[in-house]
């Protein structure tokens, strides 16, 4: 079957794609920028890649007419600027109009459970998108999920941050809100299971796991599985704004996403009964098992996708190609070169930089810079990295974004997403003469940008020098040990 898959760089689509290919489907992948899609790891004969921006109707003409099934997995809640509700509505309208010109029979949409009378902007937007897609020539199958639990999912990582960082929590009253979490494995099973099923056409189904829990219960059960003692006190005086800042400063989420999440957490998110799981033969996974499965993937370094990598960025809106050419004129540069005795080891260290592995020199200074960035609304150093040893184009790497990761060319190029009076790049490259060149480039914005460069110049002097020396040294790379699940759990 020929299937159109949208939202390809998002958390869900990256989990869904390999399953579709394994089931023998030909998949047409819609991406805004081909450079973000790692197509080499998939069979080329079963894959077609097209560049399409769903805010630009003309770009959608590339979608083939002979599509049979399409997935609509586009989401804009994490955007830092603009109105995500209007963007989502426009994307849905453009998608609907183009798909009605094709041979598509079924569109499968993953939305949110939204049965309350007073919905947050996020859930209201999800419901509006469903309404737009349901009023079409093709048959819509809507799957509505609440909290999705899996390695790299937003819900999982936020809960993990809270539990592992805070032994004692003073929390807002929305922690009493109930929800019905579902394992990412079950979500993918539902998404695949409804393909071509006429009994699911023009229908909507709530999907959730077997447990109905409050957010407080989810946190405490997570802590128990991790072998941690945690105390939670709920207070009624914490406003939504304070709650949003609380999530922002403690977890790796952006403030925009934290605000939307908090507003969504005020309403119970519980499934209305249906027999879809029984019809599809899906065995629902309980919450505790979902947590253990997620950590199993983390400990094996097999996290396929992360919500942090999918967060909307100016880089993605404008295209990686605009940033991948590092400017020369009007820039300040810090260039360090080291002759290598073991280029393979140096490359291994480069590919492991950041996250829990650190930056190899002056890590406490990197942490301070991250805290300062967070205080002015930046991303800080909280995002870490998806894998301890692998990097792909488009990944987040602390407060950097990976623009290019090519092991064959032995080149890694990063772009700064921290708050800066200008733009910054950090590049590592090993040439054919076994020389490592480490280049920090800063393009200042006005006088403030120049003052910033000269202010941090003394720190660059030993941070970048120390980092390049470690990369060139023959000291073995020692990766941090993963925290295994407590045996008693």
Assign 3-class secondary structure to the chain. Answer: CEEEECCCCCHHHHHHHHHHHHCCCEEEEEECCHHHCCHHHCCHHHEEEEECCCCCHHHHHHCCCCCCEEEECCCCCCCCCCCHHHHHHHHHHHHHHHHCCCCCCEEEEEEECCCCCCCCHHHHHHHHHHHHHHCCCCEEEEEEECCEECCCCHHHHHHHHHHHHCCEEEECHHHHCEECCEEHHHHHHHHHHCCCCHHHCCEEEEECCCCCEEHHHHHHHHHHHCCCCCEEEECCCCCHHHHHHHHHHHCCCCHHHHHHHHHHCCCCECCCCCCHHHHHCCCCCCHHHHHHHHHHHHHCCCCCCCHHHHCCCHHHHHCCHHHHCCCCCCCEEEEEEEECCCHHHHHHHHHCCCHHHCCCCCHHHHHHHHHHHHHCCCCCCCCCCCCCCCCCCCCEECCEEEEEEECCCCEEEEEECCCCCEEEEEEEEECCCCEEEEEEEEEECHHHHHHHHHHHHHHHHHHHHHHHHHHHCCCCCCCCCCCCCCCCC
- Residue 442: band (very low, low, confident or very high) from pLDDT cuts 50, 70, 90: very high
In sequence order, what are the residues at sequence separation of 6 or more whose Cβ sits closer than 8 angstroms to the Cβ of residue 264?
112, 120, 122, 123
**Whole-number Å distance between alpha carbons of 200 and 179:** 24
Residue 466 maps to a domain = yes
Residue 482 maps to a domain = no
Query: Residue 429 is part of a domain; what is its CATH number?
Result: 3.30.530.20
Residue 311 maps to a domain = no
- Which range of 93-107, 222-236, 301-315, 440-454 scores highest in mean pLDDT? It is 93-107
- Residue 465: band (very low, low, confident or very high) from pLDDT cuts 50, 70, 90: very high
CB 250 within 8 A of CB 166: yes
Residue 107 has pLDDT above 80, yes or no: yes
Same domain (yes/no): 267, 328: no
Distance of CA 393 to the CA centre of its chain: 13
CB 183 within 8 A of CB 149: yes
Same domain (yes/no): 155, 229: yes
Distance of CA 91 to the CA centre of its chain: 20
pLDDT, average across residues 341-345: 93
* 225 or 155: which leads in pLDDT: 225
- Residue 3: band (very low, low, confident or very high) from pLDDT cuts 50, 70, 90: very high
Same domain (yes/no): 120, 82: yes
Domain tally for the chain? 2
Same domain (yes/no): 291, 406: no
Q: What is the pLDDT of residues 376-396, one digit of tens each?
A: 877 777 777 877 888 888 888
- Which range of 154-163, 192-201, 351-360 scores highest in mean pLDDT? It is 192-201
Same domain (yes/no): 243, 358: no
| pLDDT value at residue 486 | 37
CB 142 within 8 A of CB 112: no
Residue 302 has pLDDT above 50, yes or no: no
CA-CA-CA-CA torsion sign (51, 26, 17, 210): positive
Residue 5 has pLDDT above 90, yes or no: yes
Residue 430 has pLDDT above 60, yes or no: yes
- Residue 257: band (very low, low, confident or very high) from pLDDT cuts 50, 70, 90: low
| pLDDT value at residue 428 | 96
Residue 477 maps to a domain = no
| pLDDT value at residue 312 | 47
Nearest to 193 by CA among 68, 285, 281, 71: 281
Same domain (yes/no): 294, 330: no
| pLDDT value at residue 488 | 31
Residue 306 maps to a domain = no
pLDDT, average across residues 31-47: 77
**Whole-number Å distance between alpha carbons of 486 and 489:** 5
Residue 484 has pLDDT above 70, yes or no: no
* 94 or 35: which leads in pLDDT: 94
**Whole-number Å distance between alpha carbons of 174 and 172:** 6
**Whole-number Å distance between alpha carbons of 54 and 150:** 27
Beta strand 106-112 with 69-72: parallel, antiparallel or unpaired?
Answer: parallel
Print burial letters for 400-412: b (CB count within 10 Å at least 16), e (below 16): bbbbbbeeeebbb
* 413 or 118: which leads in pLDDT: 413
Query: Residue 160 is part of a domain; what is its CATH number?
Result: 3.40.50.720
- Residue 351: band (very low, low, confident or very high) from pLDDT cuts 50, 70, 90: very high
**Whole-number Å distance between alpha carbons of 166 and 154:** 18
In sequence order, what are the residues at sequence separation of 6 or more whose Cβ sits closer than 8 angstroms to the Cβ of residue 332?
441, 442, 444, 453
Please state which of the ranges 67-76, 134-143, 281-290, 385-394 shows the lowest mean pLDDT.
385-394
| pLDDT value at residue 80 | 46
Residue 314 maps to a domain = no
Residue 152 has pLDDT above 70, yes or no: yes
| pLDDT value at residue 163 | 85
Beta strand 435-444 with 332-339: parallel, antiparallel or unpaired?
Answer: antiparallel
Same domain (yes/no): 247, 292: yes
Same domain (yes/no): 291, 337: no
Structure tokens at 449: 């940008």
**Whole-number Å distance between alpha carbons of 129 and 276:** 22
pLDDT, average across residues 284-312: 68
pLDDT, average across residues 224-231: 89
Residue 402 maps to a domain = yes
| pLDDT value at residue 171 | 78
Residue 343 has pLDDT above 90, yes or no: yes
Residue 26 has pLDDT above 70, yes or no: yes
- Which range of 37-51, 170-184, 211-225 scores highest in mean pLDDT? It is 211-225
CB 471 within 8 A of CB 438: yes
* 119 or 151: which leads in pLDDT: 151
pLDDT, average across residues 28-32: 88
Residue 287 has pLDDT above 90, yes or no: yes
Cα atoms found within 13 Å of the Cα of residue 32, Cβ hemisphere only: 21
Residue 79 has pLDDT above 50, yes or no: no
Mean pLDDT estimate for the chain:
84
Q: What is the pLDDT of residues 181-225, one digit of tens each?
A: 999 999 999 999 999 999 999 999 999 999 999 988 999 999 999
Residue 330 maps to a domain = yes
| pLDDT value at residue 195 | 96
Same domain (yes/no): 218, 361: no
Percent of the chain scoring above 70 in pLDDT: 84
Range of the domain at 171: 2-299
* 244 or 482: which leads in pLDDT: 244
Same domain (yes/no): 459, 378: yes
Radius of gyration from C-alpha coordinates of the chain: 23
Report residue 402: phi and psi, to 5°: -80, 115
Same domain (yes/no): 227, 259: yes
| pLDDT value at residue 330 | 83
Same domain (yes/no): 280, 213: yes
Residue 119 has pLDDT above 70, yes or no: no
């Amino acid at each position: 079957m020929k299937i159109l898959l949208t939202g390809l760089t998002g958390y869900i689509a990256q989990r869904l794609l390999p399953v579709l290919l394994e089931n023998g489907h030909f998949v047409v992948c819609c991406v805004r920028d081909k450079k973000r899609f790692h197509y080499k790891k998939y069979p080329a004969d079963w894959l077609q890649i097209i560049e399409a921006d769903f805010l630009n109707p003309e770009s959608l003409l590339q979608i083939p007419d002979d599509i049979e099934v399409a997935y609509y997995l586009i989401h804009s809640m994490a955007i830092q600027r603009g109105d995500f509700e209007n963007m989502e509505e426009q994307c849905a309208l453009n998608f609907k109009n183009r798909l009605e010109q094709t041979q598509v029979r079924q569109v499968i949409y993953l939305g949110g459970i939204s049965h309350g009378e007073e919905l947050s902007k996020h859930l209201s937007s999800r419901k509006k998108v469903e309404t737009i897609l349901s009023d079409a020539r093709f048959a819509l199958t809507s799957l509505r999920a609440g909290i999705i639990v899996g390695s790299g999912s937003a819900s999982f990582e936020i809960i993990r941050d809270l539990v592992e960082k805070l032994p004692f929590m003073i929390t807002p009253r929305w922690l009493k809100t109930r929800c019905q979490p579902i394992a990412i494995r079950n979500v993918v099973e539902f998404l695949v299971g409804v393909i071509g099923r006429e009994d699911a056409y023009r229908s909507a189904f709530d999907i959730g796991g077997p447990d109905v829990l409050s957010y407080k219960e989810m946190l405490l059960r997570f802590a128990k599985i991790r072998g941690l003692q945690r105390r939670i006190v709920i207070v009624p005086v914490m406003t939504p704004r304070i709650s949003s800042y609380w999530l922002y400063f403690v977890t790796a989420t952006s403030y925009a996403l934290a605000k939307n999440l908090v507003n969504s957490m005020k309403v119970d998110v519980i499934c209305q009964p249906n027999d879809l799981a029984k019809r599809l033969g899906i065995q629902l996974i309980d919450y505790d098992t979902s947590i253990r499965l997620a950590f199993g993937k983390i400990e094996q370094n097999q996290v396929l996708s992360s919500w942090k990598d999918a967060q909307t960025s100016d880089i993605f809106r404008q295209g990686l190609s605009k940033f991948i050419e590092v400017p020369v004129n009007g820039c300040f540069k810090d260039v360090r070169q080291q002759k290598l005795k073991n280029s393979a080891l140096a490359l291994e260290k480069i590919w492991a930089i950041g996250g829990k592995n650190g930056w190899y020199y002056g890590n406490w200074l990197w942490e301070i810079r991250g805290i300062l960035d967070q205080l002015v609304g930046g991303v800080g150093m909280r995002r870490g990295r998806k894998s301890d040893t692998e990097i792909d184009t488009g990944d987040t790497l602390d407060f950097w974004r990976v623009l290019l990761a090519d092991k064959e060319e032995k080149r890694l190029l990063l772009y700064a997403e921290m708050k800066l009076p200008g733009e910054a790049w950090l590049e590592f490259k090993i040439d054919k003469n076994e020389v490592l060149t480490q280049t920090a480039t800063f393009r200042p914005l006005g006088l403030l940008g120049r003052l910033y460069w000269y202010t941090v110049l003394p720190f660059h002097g030993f941070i970048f020098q120390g980092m390049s020396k470690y990369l060139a040294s023959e000291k073995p790379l020692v990766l941090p040990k993963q925290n295994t699940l407590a045996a008693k759990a």
